[in-house]
Structures are given as C-alpha cells and as structure tokens.
Amino acid sequence: MSKDIKKYKLLLDGELITTDQSIEVINPANEEIIALCSKATNKELDLAIESAKKSQKLWAKTGIEERQQVLHEITNVIKDNRDQIARILTLEQGKTFIAAKGEVQFAEAFCNYFANQSLDNQLLKDDDSSIIEIHRLPLGVVAAIAPWNFPFLIAVYKTAPAILMGNSIILKPAPTTPISTCFFGELLQPIVPRGLINIITDENELGPTITRHPDIAKISFTGSTFTGKKVAENSGSTLTRLTLELGGNDPAIVMADAQPSKIAQDIFNSSMNNTGQICAAIKRLYVHQDIYEEMCNELKKIADGTKVGDGFEQGSDLGPLQNKNQYEKVKSYIEEAKQKGNIISGGEPLEGPGYFIPITLVKDIQDGAKLVDEEQFGPILPIIKYDDIDEVIDLSNSSKYGLGASVWSENIKKAREVAIKLEAGSVWVNQHAAIGPDIPLSGAKESGLGVEWGEEGLKEFTQLKILNIKK
Ligand code: NAD
C-alpha cells in the first residue's frame, strides 16, 4: 500500500474528522487498496445524532426559500466537481468513467428538482362550521442508509428532499463504497449549516443501533430485502417512520408482435447497465416462442460485442462487479445456469485480478431455476420461452418481489392491457427503468415500503398535521 494513500474524513457536527479506525477501500477492477476511509464507532454515531438534533431545531425554523437556496448551492458544487466525483466513483464502484459522470449528472438533476419544490399548506374545508387545513411538518433527524450500486446518486437523492422539508440527516454509505459520500462531505462542509448533514461509515456494525435509536425520526433505507426486513424489525420498537427501497426481480415480457432487431439494444441496456447491478434492471426476460430464437440471436450479437473491463480503460463498455461477495454470488448463478439452461454468450469469469464477469445470456431455462426465481444483481440474464400470455403474466406475478416490470409490443393498446395485470410498483411499456426525480418510485410486495421521489416521495419526509378550527 502506498504511504501517501488518502484517508477520507467523516463530516460530523460541521467538521471533517479523521477517526482512529479505517476501512480499506478496494478498487474492484484490480483488487488494490485505493484509499482508506475513517470508520465511525458508537462514539461518532452519538455525536452525529446529537449534532443533527441540535441543527434540525434551528433548520426547522428557516423558510422554504432558504432551504431551496442551500439545495441550489449543493447542486452547483456537485456540478463544479463532476469529474472528480466521477473519478472516485469509478475507482470505488467499478463503473465506467462515462457511466460515473452520468450518475453524477443524475444526482445534480435530483438535487435541482428538489431545490425547486415546496409543499404548501392545503385548505381542506372552509364552511360555516369549521376551517380545516393540512400542514406538513419536518420529522426531525433522518437516517439514510445506502447500498453500493449508485453510492453518490443515492446519497444525494435522500439528502435533498430530507433537508428541503426541514429535517437534518445522517448519511451512512455501504462499507465497500464510502468515499464518494465522504468526498460529498468535503464539498458540503463549507456550504451547509453545522450538523445539518452528517456522514458516518461502518463495516455493517452500526445499522442495528441506528435503526433502533429513539432520536432517529425516519429511516430512508435502500438495499436488499433481507436487510430491509431487519431494519423494519429494529425500528418497530420506536415506530420510526420508514421508507424501504429493496430488491427486485423485474420481468420483461416480449409479445409475439414485437420486433427483436428494434428492441434488443434497449432490452440489453435495461438488463446490463451498471453491470446488471440495478434494483430495477430486467432480471428475467420472457419472450414469445414465435420470436424466441430471433430475440436470442439479436441479444447474443450485442452481448458478444460488449467489452467488460476496467472502467478507466478506453473501450470498456461495462465495469466489474462491485465486490467479492457479489462476484462469488453471480458465479454461483452461472454454475447453476450451466445445468439448467444453455449459455449462448459469456459464461466463464474473466481472469483476475478484478471481479469481472462477462455478459452472460442463458436460453432454454425456466422458472424454478435460481437464476429466474432470485435476484441475480449481475450481468447474467435468463431468457425464457413462453406461448400463453396469461401463463406468463402469472409467472411474472409469482415472485415475492414487485419493483418493476415491462411489456414490449408493437401494439400499445395490447401491451397496456398486459401491463395493467402486472403486480409491480412501476410498469413500463417498450422501455424499462425509465425513472426520474419527478416520477415516484415505490416497490410492491417485498420490494419495499413507501415511496421515493416526486411529490409523493417528498411527503414521506414530513409529518402530516391537521389543523381543525371550529368557527
Ligand atoms: P445491503 O442490504 O447488504 O446493504 C445496504 C445497506 O444496509 C448498507 O449500507 C449496509 O451497511 C447496511 N446494513 C447492513 N446491515 C444492516 C442492518 N442490520 N441494519 C441497517 N443497515 C444495515 O444491500 P447491498 O448489497 O448494499 O445492495 C444491493 C441490494 O440493494 C439489491 O438487493 C438491490 O436490489 C437493492 N437496491 C434497491 C434499490 C431500490 O430502489 N429498490 C436501489 C438500489 C439497490
């Protein structure tokens, strides 16, 4: 390890603080240590909560314009440092530098969107007997817990609505991708009030303490369904408000009248972007038997021409998996797929170092295989043949997940009829994972609880209060 390796600091109570303990941050493209990150203990967590409590009391008294102004400043500082943030993202997350810049730009768009929002009081009734108004109050201290697939974007899109609504926030990034969030802290330190935004890090130890803490008013969690259930359990004792954005196993149904050559690239991207590590990626592809072979061939052509490599290398289309655990998990899906289907592209992990898996397409596989039934979260797609649309709707709906789904057809009316029957929080037609700051995102079934983004998402950072005055 180089001696001049940077140790990132935590933003705590308005100061950038180095702690005694460190997290070693690994570049997934070569498995080398690229940085150290200060690791928080219960002491730093207590400081973050105390500081956030104090700060929130003052912040709640500010007007919406002042809060919007701070969000505009945050948007600008992100924009001004886009390339540097993107470089850190490629180093710690593995995605290509172009994709990393895209993530930062999307974060700017979210921050800018919330910087232009407000929720006015609403008059529900004003008649001879009473005036009834709906008010929206801040909740208090929000804890935001993030995963490792879009570390910067998720940190920003949780921070912006939380502080706009008069809350303070404590951000906790995932253990393997903490430094883009810590760098965000460096950028925020000169421009946000002391204690309004605090950053702590861990190696999975602090979650239970945060989620049980009586001084945390809301938890905004994005991560796996497995951990989301623990969060729900732990926060039950204090009835802490919860938003859970969890796992998915999104089906895409390609109808008999679809044109494979026209839609293959979009389907491919919707499955493989971010090396398949997207909650709402296409994770099972159901294709009508009449066009099954053609669709498989079109996807194979694209897969064979897609280069997985170091995110900084010219010519790399996709990066490695983000961490070793995920790499091992995806390899186990490939092993099973070799028994349960036919691999038509990829199939063998690339030689290391680095957590590289080539784009892997599996045809002639069916429901009942792990790769179809579970969330693979990697660049491996099962392509399943169907002949009866009602059966495939049932199969799509048989999952415990319900994050997203899509239907692909030349006939929008027919596709719409199928889309209506799919059990998911978002259903797209002739596209997948088309998301944005103004469009609410919500998971059905075990894909989540509550809503993020848009006005619906903003409301989740408030306490509803009814003011009911007798005349
Ligand atoms: P994870 O659940 O392992 O970790 C997420 C976060 O939870 C990390 O910060 C982790 O340190 C923390 N954590 C661990 N144990 C905890 C506990 N007991 N209490 C509280 N927090 C705890 O998820 P991951 O592997 O980092 O991310 C991948 C998963 O995230 C996938 O399932 C993916 O679908 C999901 N995801 C969902 C969305 C969405 O919007 N629905 C978006 C991105 C990722």
pLDDT at 4: 80
pLDDT at 351: 86
Per the document, the length of the chain is 471
**Which residues of the chain are under the pLDDT cut of 70?**
1-3
Beta strands in 338-456 (DSSP E): 342-345, 360-363, 380-386, 401-402, 404-408, 426-429, 444-445, 448-449
pTM higher than 0.85, yes or no? yes
Task: State which ligand 1 atom lies nearest to the alpha carbon of 279.
Answer: 34
Instruction: Name the residue of 39, 199, 204, 435 whose CB sits within 8 Å of the most ligand 1 atoms, as the mutation to test its pocket.
Output: 204
Burial of 190 (0-12, 13-18, 19+ CB in 10 A): exposed
pLDDT at 2: 57
Task: State which ligand 1 atom lies nearest to the alpha carbon of 448.
Answer: 41
pLDDT at 278: 98
- Using a 6 Å cutoff on CB, does residue 460 contact ligand 1? no
- Using a 6 Å cutoff on CB, does residue 448 contact ligand 1? yes
- Using a 6 Å cutoff on CB, does residue 403 contact ligand 1? yes
**How far is it, in rounded angstroms, from Cα 22 to Cα 308?**
31
Cα within 13 Å of Cα(352), Cβ side? 12
- Using a 6 Å cutoff on CB, does residue 276 contact ligand 1? no
- Using a 6 Å cutoff on CB, does residue 443 contact ligand 1? yes
Estimate to the nearest angstrom the gap between the alpha carbon of 210 and the chain centroid. Answer: 20
Nearest CA to ligand 1 atom 42: 279
Task: State which ligand 1 atom lies nearest to the alpha carbon of 228.
Answer: 2
What lies within 8 Å, CB to CB, of 37 at 6+ separation is 7, 8, 22, 23, 25, 178, 179, 182, 201
Residues involved in catalysis: 245, 279
Token pair for 307: 């280069």
pLDDT at 325: 98
Distance (Å) from CA 164 to ligand 1 centroid: 24
Distance (Å) from CA 300 to ligand 1 centroid: 31
pLDDT at 197: 99
Residue in 417, 382, 47 with CA at minimum distance from that of residue 215: 47
The residue behind tokens 């004003």 is 126
Task: State which ligand 1 atom lies nearest to the alpha carbon of 234.
Answer: 19
**How far is it, in rounded angstroms, from Cα 176 to Cα 91?**
11
pLDDT at 328: 97
Token pair for 21: 């303990």
Instruction: Name the residue of 45, 157, 224 whose CB sits within 8 Å of the most ligand 1 atoms, as the mutation to test its pocket.
Output: 224
pLDDT at 162: 99
Distance (Å) from CA 184 to ligand 1 centroid: 20
- Using a 6 Å cutoff on CB, does residue 102 contact ligand 1? no
**How far is it, in rounded angstroms, from Cα 301 to Cα 317?**
15
Distance (Å) from CA 116 to ligand 1 centroid: 29
